[in-house]
Amino acid sequence: MSGTGKRQKAYRRGHSAERLAAVALMLKGYRIIGRRYRTKLGEIDLIARRGDVVLMVEVKARATLEQAMDSVNLLTMRRIEAAAGQWLSRQPDHAKLSLRFDLVAILPWRWPVHVPGVFTA
């Protein structure tokens, strides 16, 4: 498979994983308010809200939960924090919002695993 074909397959797999993660969060009572929020500083896979709690969600499709958690490295955290700061600054009610950085792991043949507070800013 060519490099372009692999990238397209990974892109489609990423979209599929994010859709599944969004459904899992909605069933927990969260409203999805952003998908693939991009800034020059970074990207947030999903932004979900329930009340005044806003989740900045990193979605990882991996073979195991441990691999998914290990893939959220320092660079990933900084990228998400930077994008989250920019998103938050644009919200009119930002002073009352509580941010949390979560992970949703998409594992083979399992329901998505939601890991609240996978890191703190």
3-state SS assignment for residue 64: coil
Q: What confidence score (pLDDT) does residue 1 get? A: 63
pTM: 0.91
Domain count, the chain: 1
**pLDDT tens-digit readout, 38-62:** 999 999 999 999 999 999 999 999 9
Q: What domain range is 84 assigned to?
A: 3-119
Cβ(48)–Cβ(54) below 8 Å: yes
Q: What is the CATH number of the domain that holds 50?
A: 3.40.1350.10
How far, rounded to the nearest angstrom, does the alpha carbon of residue 89 sit from its chain's CA centroid? 19
Q: What confidence score (pLDDT) does residue 4 get? A: 81
Residues in contact with 68: Cβ distance below 8 Å, sequence separation at least 6, in sequence order: 60, 61, 62, 103, 105, 106, 107, 113
Task: Return mean pLDDT, the chain.
Answer: 94
Question: What is the average pLDDT across 28-45?
Answer: 96
Cβ(62)–Cβ(77) below 8 Å: no
Across the chain, where does the E strand assignment appear? 31-38, 43-50, 53-61, 98-106, 113-119
pLDDT band at 9 (very low <50, low <70, confident <90, very high): confident
Residues 79 and 58: their CA atoms lie apart, in Å, by 11
